[in-house]
Amino acid sequence: MTFPPRRRATGALLLTGAGAAGLLSPWALPTYVVLLVGLLVALAARPLVRPEGRRVWGAFGAGAAALAGTQLVLLLSSGQADVTAAALVEHRELALLALLAYPVLYGGQMGLLRRRVRELLPSAWLDGVLTLIALAAAGCAFLVGPVVAATGVGRAAALALVARPALDLLLLSVALATCGILGRRSGARTVLLAAAFGVLTVADTAGVARLCGVLDAPWTGAAVDAGRLTALALVAVAAWSREEEGVAGDVTTGWTSMLTPLVVLTTSCTLLAVDHVHRLPSPTVPLALLGLAGVGAKAAVVFREVLRLADSRRLALTDDLTGLPNRRALAEALRRTTTQDVPATLLLLDLDGFKEVNDTHGHAWGDRLLRLAAERVQPLVPPGGLLARVGGDEFALLLPGDVPAGDTAARVGAALGEPALVGSRWTSTGSSTGVATWPLTDHDPRTDPGTDPAGELLRRADAAMYVAKRAGGGWASYDDDQDRAARAQRVLAEELASGIAAGQLTAHYQPQVDVRSGRTVGLEALVRWEHPRRGTLAPGAFLDLAESHGLMAEVTGTVLRRAARDAARWHRQGHRLRISVNLATSCLLNPALPLLVEQVLEETGLDPAALVLEITETTLMADPARSRETIEDLLRLGTSVSIDDYGTGYSSLAYLQDLPAAELKLDRAFTVRLTGDPRTAAIIASTADLAHSLGLRMLVEGVEDAETLRRLAELGVDETQGYHHARPMTAADVPGWLAAQVPVPAGARAPRAATLGR
């Protein structure tokens, strides 16, 4: 049967008490020996049975065994359950050796304290040493002489007698200090140890008083032995009690840490002054001088710890990369601002496009860009302001209330937008800055117990920053209406991230038709989001959101896999069609893109020649050199590239000359005005001639009617795409549409079956 810890403790103490009562019987000495050995066995078994705290309780067991062994030899020499002065004289060396048990017990005490305190500073260990020196000096000065005179045991044995209660008091002070540090988290184990050393202090003090004749009642010897047994029993119960939880904070170097050195300093100086007038017994003076040296050592250690803690605090409030204050330092500054009700303005700025730069050129390049940004903004910080890096590519600038926030935000944006040489490349990055002011103009969050004012100020600046980001950069002040919209966008972004993981993104497909034959030659994959509440969402509802929240790579990867898997299945069914997938700027500049495409082709078994990757002119011109490297890697896989939205971006004939593209895709902006605008017709005709001269096929999107299709055929266009042929359809609908389609060349009358699209 297994008893609860509380019952085991109660039983052990009752058994010890009954045995202690037996010390008054004629069988006192055998009873004492049996109880002593039993408690020692219980304590020695603790580190063997339980692994936790094995060293700590091994130290307690060794120290207790040393004290008990000494006591046992003295009792057997006395021939009774009480130590006589004669036995002490005979075994004085053994009594002195017993004092070596106390450093072991002290180490066990400090080991327990270290298990419960996050960081125990070296100065805390010195407190015990200083206390011991002071007690030893005072004992030598005032107690050793009277004990020698009263017992006749000699100075060495008298020193051992006096040292025992003093060392007990040291252990008691450590136990009480542990209780003070842990407070309510002390637990039964800590309290039991404090009680044990308290009882031991009283018992050893009473033992010295009995040897000196101060306590001469017949029962006092048994009481002393019973007290020592009770102390040992309490230690054994503490050893077997449940492991305590809860860790206290660091033992800091406040003014209380100098209380012990102050007492030791006062004691040592007093003893030296008394020795100057009336010579004190040796070794009082050496111990007093040692106490003074110990106080000096303690002061030096504390000074070093204070410097270390100050340096640790500085490091805890500093960003390692830029050397600026970090998010924790900003939080403290915001807390002071909101608590003291000091007018202030918070600017939260984000480096636009940093993620793409970091992904493209590597983290080392991104780190240099962050350091450069910090160096450029730091000179713009006014007196009393604070510039902090709050994480990633976000910085915060806390301004005094009298500094114009708009001017500062504009100057910060201009400084960050200037081109800079980072490594061997010239680069520039814009920024989006959100501005929020304190005190808040609409309501005071301090009146709401559930709102943190500093957190609310930071949240508002963050909301304004996203407004600026959606506007394409610059800065924006907090607006409550815009904040609600921004919150909705953030919620949607979180839902998008979850939706990607849950497989809610699908691909719809729109046919691309050869103008001359009327046959379908390809399909463009267009992403859709099957939102659980809002239904099917078109790309315009979430792609910008995906780009601004760093989700575009996941979106592209999902669509690419779906499109390749569907196309491979259609190929096996006999429909040898090209499949086109759009690539955003962030995807093209990601060096991992070629590896992703290669993995998708291997997973799906799709013929690389059937995969067309559509890239806009704007994407190409974002980083022409890097874009060309990525495109060449993609072409080596066997895929082809289409220049999407041609004619609407940063058009440059130079990149057409060098870029190994296979297709030009003219934007729908030209087709809507084709039938009534000769200039548009001329542009389309010349573009078609240019494409053919460069060996490229010409595809035009946005074809809505037969007349537009006929006119495009006359102008030399190769392929068309638009609602005239079919609306985007699900993967499940594609085979049926292909089976029902009747090829109709441009200009011919389409039979009814050919209009079956969705």
Average pLDDT per block of 10 residues along the chain, 758 residues long: 46 48 53 80 84 82 82 67 55 72 82 69 65 69 64 67 77 75 71 86 79 68 80 86 57 54 73 71 73 73 67 70 87 87 89 74 79 90 91 90 88 85 69 88 54 85 86 83 74 91 95 94 96 92 85 93 96 94 86 92 95 86 79 93 79 69 89 84 92 92 92 94 94 93 68 39
154: Cβ contacts below 8 Å, ≥ 6 apart: 89, 92, 148
Alpha-carbon span 116 to 189, nearest angstrom: 12
Please give the pLDDT value at position 18: 45
Pick the CATH number of 327-478 from 3.30.365.10, 3.30.70.270, 3.30.1160.10, 3.30.830.10: 3.30.70.270
Please give the pLDDT value at position 503: 93
Q: Which long-range contacts does 94-97 make (Cβ < 8 Å, 24+ apart)? A: 94/70, 95/70, 95/157, 95/160, 95/161, 96/156, 96/157, 96/159, 96/160, 97/66, 97/70
Please give the pLDDT value at position 22: 45
DSSP output for 9-20: HHHHHHHHHHHH
Return the domain boundaries, the chain. Answer: 5-122+147-243, 327-478, 501-750
Please give the pLDDT value at position 757: 36
The CATH number assigned to the domain with range 501-750 reads: 3.20.20.450
| For helices 28-49 and 220-240, angle between their N-to-C axes, nearest 10 degrees | 20
Pair of tokens at residue 674: 């084709």
| DSSP-assigned beta bridge partners for residue 345 | 399, 437
Edge-first strand order for the sheet with 431-438 is 386-391, 394-400, 344-351, 431-438, 474-477
Please give the pLDDT value at position 315: 60
DSSP output for 242-289: PPP---B-----SGGGGHHHHHHHHHHHHHHHHHHHSPPPTTHHHHHH
Please give the pLDDT value at position 747: 60
- Phi–psi pair at 222, nearest 5 degrees: -65, -35
Alpha-carbon span 396 to 390, nearest angstrom: 7
